[in-house]
A and B are shown apart, each in its own frame.
Chain A
């Protein structure tokens, strides 16, 4: 690659400028989906092309970058995006939530509360919360602009009538600042309460669908529900097998062919930090108590 062809963080400055404008507009209208001219990235759609573009637009040489995929720092997606920005931007990277200034995430919010000055970038597959109920884009846009959100409750109604409770467990729709209904990306609904009143900036990028939306710090975010079926964040009812945490979101792992299973924190950084601090779970030689 010649010197002229190289630009900090892969995208050219004009593209970053365009993306930043979309981000600023998104921050000005929390929850509103801003169209942007998504670029081809050197990765397939569905692998975080939207998130990568947003990260590229907000990264500065002084940033410390962290990538998580379902909470983990060490999966293929996380490792390859992290090394992508190591190569193209030369930024420092970390796996520690606290040290990172920009965190790109797929489908999780870190367990550790984020602070002011941090940016959380979500990868979004389908930004339109109404899409599966109303396939026409022209119609969903009109519904957003006229605040016609009755249909969203039809989905929740269907859940209750079929399963006896609201069975939607991820990508649980939220209402932002009493105005826009937003898809929080496929995070578990366990993470929904963290969306609201968060100190960090939250940016959402959908590459294939060419939409960016955002939540500025300390935004009011309410999960939709019924009066007689209130929203409940849910998680597996177990302590973590590795670090014995009872307050974190857990992954269920099948460990043998006999149906043996263990539950372990999906946030690897959180789990490792707890183990280092001496919390040992029952599958890790401990007694199971915190």
Chain B
């Protein structure tokens, strides 16, 4: 089977300082990869490099495109990459405000990607927007409200709806549950898990919350100082960490 995403030797330096160094992994269709590590370990840098927000100094990000098969997205032309960014890819930001248009209604936010790929029928766009609001448990009568009137958890769910409406195959998530209280986190995780399973999505999730990866991720990479120190099946890594840092990370979680 061809991997959906094949990351090969990604290195990004900020001057002399290492952002992330020599990271490689394959992600297969339907698989969810978790990336954990402490602040400053290079998780977000790596995610940015993969999603095309940052330009890595070395390495390849090969994506299995629908039309042309596996291609290195870093050598693609910018229009192609941006097209990918609004069709097959999705990016969920940690802060919903970064991923939403706060001055535009919820329906407009969800519809934007549809309109960006050429949808020109108002009724259809609106129906799809309402359908997606329902799937992320937002009432249909909030469709014309602006995200500024939404709670943090609703904003995050709206951001997810906005990203998934075009049926992407790969979702990048940067701390999707960061900044939400635990009960809202739990609902969001439950929702995400359902969506990922139902749509057969592949996802790369960056987080420092081990509970998130335990629930969502099939495989796990542990990063420290820009390098991957341990990788494997999620349960394996979490239940039997080998590297000293992974052990520290797992033992740092409070047991209630």
Shortest distance from the beta carbon of A12 to any chain B beta carbon, whole Å? 40
Using a Cβ cutoff of 8 Å, how many contacts connect chains A and B? 54
Contact of A150 among B116, B122, B123, B143 (CB under 8 A): B116
0/1 interface trace, chain B 82-103, chain A, CB 8 Å (1 if under) = 1000100000000000000100
From B126, which residue of chain A is reached at the shortest CB distance? A161
* Interface check B22, CB cutoff 8 A: no
List 18 A-B pairs, Cβ < 8 Å.
A147-B79, A150-B86, A150-B112, A151-B112, A151-B115, A151-B116, A153-B120, A154-B108, A157-B107, A157-B108, A157-B111, A157-B115, A160-B122, A161-B105, A161-B108, A161-B126, A161-B144, A162-B105
Which A-chain residue is minimally distant from B77 (CB atoms)?
A146
Beyond A151-B116, A153-B120, A226-B120: 12 further Cβ-contacts under 8 Å? A133-B104, A150-B86, A150-B117, A151-B112, A154-B104, A154-B108, A154-B112, A157-B126, A161-B105, A161-B107, A226-B122, A227-B121
Contact A153-B115, Cβ < 8 Å, known A146-B79, A161-B105:
yes
| Chain A residues whose CB sits within 8 angstroms of the CB of B117 once the complex forms | 150
Residue from A146, A148, A162, A228 in contact with B122 in the complex, judged by beta carbons closer than 8 Å: A228
Find out whether the CB atom of A148 lies under 8 angstroms from the CB atom of B115: no
Q: Decide if B143 touches A148 in the complex (CB within 8 Å).
A: no
- Please indicate the chain B residues that have their CB under 8 angstroms from the CB of A227 in the complex: 120-122
Given known contacts A154-B111, A161-B143, A148 and B82 CB-to-CB distance under 8 angstroms = yes
> What does the 1/0 interface line of B118-148 toward A look like (CB < 8 Å)?
0011110110000000000000000110000
Interface residues of A (CB under 8 A from B): 133, 146-148, 150-151, 153-154, 157-158, 160-162, 226-229
- The list of the 6 closest CB pairs from A to B, nearest first, reads A150-B116, A153-B115, A226-B122, A150-B115, A227-B121, A146-B79
Measured between C-beta atoms, what is the minimum distance from A160 to chain B in Å?
A: 6
Interface size on B, residues (CB 8 A): 23
The residues of B that contact A158 with a CB separation of less than 8 Å are 104-105, 108
Find out whether the CB atom of A154 lies under 8 angstroms from the CB atom of B101: yes
Q: Which residue of B lies closest to A146 (CB)?
A: B79
A146/B78 in contact, CB under 8 A: yes
A146 and B82: CB pair below 8 A?
A: yes
> Once bound together, how far apart are the Cα atoms of A229 and B107, in whole Å?
17
Q: B60 at the A/B interface (Cβ < 8 Å)?
A: no
Q: Which residues of B contact A (CB under 8 A)?
A: 78-79, 82, 86, 101, 104-105, 107-108, 111-113, 115-117, 120-123, 125-126, 143-144
Question: What chain B residues lie within 8 Å of A147 (beta carbons)?
Answer: 79
* Bound Cα distance from A133 to B123, whole angstroms: 22
Given contacts A157-B122, A226-B121, A229-B122, contact A150 B108 (CB under 8 A): no
**Is there an interface contact between B113 and A162, defined as CB atoms closer than 8 Å?**
no
Q: Which residues of A contact B126 (CB under 8 A)?
A: 157, 161
Instruction: State whether A228 touches B121 (Cβ < 8 A).
Output: yes
Residues of chain A within 8 A of B78, CB atoms compared: 146
Q: Taking each of A146, A147, A161, A226, which has the highest tally of chain B beta carbons within 10 Å of its own beta carbon? A: A161
Distance to closest chain B CB from A145 (angstroms): 9
Q: How long is the Cα–Cα vector from A147 to B118 in the complex, in angstroms?
A: 11
* Most chain B beta-carbon contacts within 10 A, residue among A133, A148, A154, A226: A154
